[in-house]
Structure 1
Amino acid sequence: MKIKELLDLSAKAEAGTQGHVDEAKARLLTLGSDLVAVAGDEGRELDDEEQAALKAAAGAIDKLDVKAVQIKESAAVMARFAGLAPVAKASVLGGGAGGHGSPTPTGEIPEGSRLNFRAKAATVGLVTKMGDPSGSKALASSGDALTGTPIDSTIYEQGKVSTSALGILPVKTRPPTYTYLRQTKRDNKAAPVALGDLKPTSEYGVTSIDGKLEVIAHVAEPTPEYWLEDLQSLGSFVETELMYGLDRAVEAQVLNGDGVGPHLTGVLNQSGVQVQAFTVDATTTVRKGLTALEMVGYEGGGIIMHPQAWEAIELSRRQDGSPDLGSSLPVDRAAQRLWGLRIAVSTAVPVKTGILFDLGALAVTTDGAVRTQWSNSVADDFARNQVRARNEGRFGLDIYRPNGIVKLALAAA
């Protein structure tokens, strides 16, 4: 029904007075906004019929814009020569004095004319379909065309480190507080026993470990509401930046946290992990670390090192001048493996230190929920027309088998 009404209204929207033009345009925008909103809620693209209806509406709105200019010019000429007062200017919420979207005698703005972020998003989307991607033409909620400073829709971001240790570490979902058991001792006493003699007792020490998820969070600086309204991609940009910052903070805590207060105790500050001293070169050191794991019943699952440490390994040469990794061609960086193990490069780990681990030795823990919320309730944000975004999650680190982790010295001290 909305598509039929949209097509019918588009076909006969040119005629009429200023009031009729405003009403027709407002109705076209409302119907178009509804179509876009429904498709968005259903998570789908517009179908052919809906696209055709929106194109027809866009053409009709362009004609209404021309008609509105003609009506206003005519009214201005009449006012000038008849000695009448000039026609009242349109406000951002509607037409001239007493027109659609104007304050009522009590000073209130009619409910249907108040700014609405969702409606604004829909009308901006419709403007894009009209062939004005620069954003130089904004639409008020009444449908009046407002010409302003063109907005470049591209946000020129700074670079982001694309790699993270979190990409290869195991992850487990946990409640806010929990307990798990860790074996701390294995003393096998199994031996031949003569008939009737007392059997030896083996000891397998198990201890209870209390786990807890800690909140890691941050808040973005205030953002003007009009910026969010005029540039639809800005909100997504801020939320993406917050997620990136949270990822960096979690990674730093998992690797280097000092365990003080709400800080996690990171892998490099855990007691009981193995330590492999630097031997000959980094490649040899990693191989010896693998042997250290295998000696206690574990196997390598991944290696974390600084980008500069990985670069040094990629560029290292044997005595005959050939690449240390065994090929006369540059290393396949996409594969990024050493001794068959995947490498995760991370700027959060010290340049001269690597972490080799068995996949069952540890896990990053989380409740599985990361929240980003917007509010204007901080300080005087509301009075300044500003909002802030808060981004947070709860995280922890479980170390199930400390000796399944090897701290590698990748360079001489």
Structure 2
Amino acid sequence: MIQIADIRAAADRLQGQVLETPCVESRTISQLLGAQVFLKFENLQFTASFKERGACNKLAQLSSDERRRGVIAMSAGNHAQGVAYHAQRLGLRAVIVMPCFTPGVKIERTRSFGAEIVLYGDTLDEARNHALKLGQEQQLVFVHPYDDEAIVAGQGTVGLEMLAAVPTLDTLVVAVGGGGLISGIAVAAKALKPQIEVIGVQTLRFPNMFNAIKHAALPQGGSTIAEGIAVGTPGKVTQEIVATHVDDMVLVDEGDIEQALVMLLEIEKTLVEGAGAAPLAAMLKDPGRFRGRQVGLVLGGGNIDPMLLAAIIERGLVRGGRLARIRVNARDVPGSLARITALVSDAGANINEVHHQRAFTLLAAQNVEIELVLQTRGPDHIRAVLEALQQGGFPAIAQ
């Protein structure tokens, strides 16, 4: 099992090779949650993820023979970019095996760092097995995304930096996929401050480490916006460390992560991917657990597909009452729509979309159902719009 000395050695190797990211308080989020919340901005790394740390630490320790042969890795995203980028910096050949479902933007980003891309398999396990096979055939060094002590030590430098920046932290909340990040952080944090509480966060759809540590049997699988931690099997190295050093594991759902992602974007003006928002999601889900504490959250990465981001933002606006869909019943006569839109305008709402429904409705044939999508200021404003329509003679409900 790795020790604090291994993480300090990794920090020395990484000096000048990766960014020492800020760890600062979010005053607004602190006020909202009743705790002092400090954010570690790992999404500011060059490849927008903490994965650079472990990759760089691993590659920096290769022998001259291993450097000559080159490296191979399996990843659908952040690990691929971290390995490719630092291999290019060090002049190493890098082969990255990516599942066929990997978004094109991540493939091209990884290729831009000079890596050879191999698309194989419909699952991460199929891609991993193919990477191991290619590595044996071509005598390449396999760089595991998390189940490797050099990788864990590199990720642990995040913990060193957080406690150096804010020594008074009493709680750390870290997203967990295979467990590399939380393992390194937990070893560092417990060595520096044994009483600190380290909490891991997983999604309800991929509770692999939760199951292993809690001896549970929750089902796994399905799509998740936190694909960075959608790992089916925890590492052997990392599971042992988590069992020894991590105080608790909690689960969050998709809605919790979406809410956290939008909050960070709106309040902190910082973009994170689903996995990067998971620690804040845990606080939003159970704020009472953290009230009055000094909590450090790791924003692990910021690589998110723009189309997914757009969908999450829109859903967040709906959840916050900033975007509303209402259904209005009216007589199907000239001027009805004009009167409805005037009432909505007078109530201070802006109309995004208008849909008429005549055929697929249970209303009388001379009536029409009008669906409006509105920009509003919040739930109270939606109620005010509905009340204005009712008083104007148009029955209306929010959907």
Which category describes the TM-score, using the shorter chain as reference length? under 0.3
TM-score by length of 1: 0.19
TM-score by length of 2: 0.20
